Structure 1
């Protein structure tokens, strides 16, 4: 068993660096989350003493990924950095963080979980520390942020007296939490963590660098573009198209029309925009050429853009297989030219399930042969395509619909 825990189980550790072993209960942060994680770590240790292989992965602060810098702007650290924009100040903190990018954390968890290790405790934190004042603040300035560097207590004072509107000034929502940490004059040193065990089983952790300016630039660019925008006038609602993608049998039409009905927005059925020649080609068992496929996608793009711009809708659902990255890029470029955001919901299911579903359908465009050809054509989204969200389409329709709706509601915070 591999259990993902939290460094909050050791935030009050009396042993420095924090060892990779079962913690004392008194080390846990004074909150239910940390205390429950501590209890779970002790359960793992007890199971290990009875012969069950248990690995505890105690994870620290996770930050934006190394390729795109995608980071949830609602988390505490991005909120702190946002105050450079909202109040023009950032605190000078005597901290040496051990942040890890989310993609590195994923690699470390994979390395340790699939290793030959027996029962172990590991600290999944960056062994390469950086300094908040000497490294991070200068890097933020190089990204174009302008701010005063103030002592923590002064920063809390400025935040408390800033705009109380959480829409215009999101960090105000966490002012009490920040005050509990920083509204004082003296601070102890940052906790450091032993990582020898973790590094011995994870090549990804053994070679991870400290925070670098290039990485800071990526997450600041992402946060600036997606969450830190401000305007003195009300912003026009952002327009979004949600593409139900995937091969035949993933129930793109069922899911798309169901979500559209729930949200009271239009559903555009891509299959209805095939040309007569396209239909004849598909019925003969021949896969459409790239040229024909791109022409079909152009028709979908035009219909979608017209629906959003001419009919006054801010969102629409589209059913389109979009099997290749080239096809998805065609959609992205067209929508970007109309200032429309795109989210792809990648519906996924096993080949046998897709074949059975396609054979059960009554229209003559589907069948096992079409499923096979589409699966052969399908290109798994690359790391560049962070606007593609995979969804398991093998489950009951309502379960899948509920997850898609959650994606649609949450995705604007991600992209």
Structure 2
């Protein structure tokens, strides 16, 4: 898969959505298709954030701003080095996405969108993640869906992973030619 000028050099993508939407799975697949590194944004959280979420407490903006700065800088650095990168990052609010765009203005967002029912069923089956299913409601309350004037696409997650990847690829390529 190539985007824009036929290359994936320097591409900067945030795969966003609430917990359980498939950000890590789809992000890794997009990165693999593009031949660029993938980073799970959860790995960029400070330990205090991980402990807070694992304890069932939602993050507040004071918790998120340093993390978002790290996400933006990581993307910007990859873009400047020409390697490109895909990062899975919830990026739930417009102000969070704007903060990432200030650091890495060429970023494109892939919003993995689904109903609360679909996401709750996915979270119920997960045992290897620090984000408990009980925090899903707080994430939906925080979520400001990707808007038409933001650089990105929305993909419905209520389909097989192969279909999600195919739709994402087609929409990213279509968006790069507009």
Same fold (TM over 0.5): yes
Q: Distance in 1 between the 2:74 and 2:9 partners? A: 18
In structure 1, what is the equivalent of residue 85 of structure 2?
Answer: 316
In structure 2, what is the equivalent of residue 347 of structure 1?
Answer: 112
Given candidates 145, 151, 156, the residue that maps to 1:392 is: 156
Alignment of 1:271 onto 2:42 = yes
Cα distance, 1:263–1:366 mapped onto 2, change above 3 Å = same
* Root-mean-square deviation (Å): 1.7
Q: Distance in 2 between the 1:258 and 1:265 partners? A: 10
Alignment of 1:330 onto 2:99 = yes
Q: What is the deviation of 1:369?
A: 1.1
Cα distance, 1:398–1:261 mapped onto 2, change above 3 Å = same
Contact 2:54 2:132 in 1 (8 A): no
Matched ranges for 1:147-226 at <5 A: none
- Bigger RCO of structures 1 and 2 (CA < 8 A, at least 6 apart): 2
In structure 1, what is the equivalent of residue 76 of structure 2?
Answer: 305
After superposition, what is the alpha-carbon deviation per residue over 1:335-394, rounded to whole angstroms, capped at 9, x for unaligned? 13xxxx121111111111111211212224233212111111101234542x13111111
Cα distance, 1:364–1:316 mapped onto 2, change above 3 Å = closer
SS at match of 1:369: helix
Contact 2:120 2:136 in 1 (8 A): yes
How many residue pairs were aligned?
A: 171
Normalising by structure 2, we get a TM-score of 0.88
SS at match of 1:329: helix
SS at match of 1:347: strand
Q: Distance in 2 between the 1:366 and 1:282 partners? A: 6
The structure with the largest alpha-carbon Rg is 1
Contact 1:356 1:368 in 2 (8 A): no
After superposition, what is the alpha-carbon deviation per residue over 1:243-288, rounded to whole angstroms, capped at 9, x for unaligned? 1110011100000101111221111210111111001111121111
Query: Please, which runs of 5 or more residues in structure 2 have no aligned partner?
Result: 1-7
Q: Distance in 2 between the 1:368 and 1:322 partners? A: 18
In structure 2, what is the equivalent of residue 411 of structure 1?
Answer: 175
Query: Please, which runs of 5 or more residues in structure 1 have no aligned partner?
Result: 1-236
Contact 1:359 1:366 in 2 (8 A): no
Q: What is the deviation of 1:306?
A: 2.0
Q: What is the deviation of 1:307?
A: 2.1
Q: What is the deviation of 1:308?
A: 2.4
Q: Distance in 1 between the 2:72 and 2:26 partners? A: 20
After superposition, what is the alpha-carbon deviation per residue over 1:80-138, rounded to whole angstroms, capped at 9, x for unaligned? xxxxxxxxxxxxxxxxxxxxxxxxxxxxxxxxxxxxxxxxxxxxxxxxxxxxxxxxxxx
Given candidates 369, 374, 381, the residue that maps to 2:139 is: 374
Contact 2:10 2:78 in 1 (8 A): no
Contact 1:355 1:367 in 2 (8 A): no
Q: Distance in 2 between the 1:300 and 1:252 partners? A: 14
Q: Distance in 1 between the 2:154 and 2:91 partners? A: 13
Contact 1:268 1:304 in 2 (8 A): no
Q: Distance in 2 between the 1:344 and 1:294 partners? A: 18
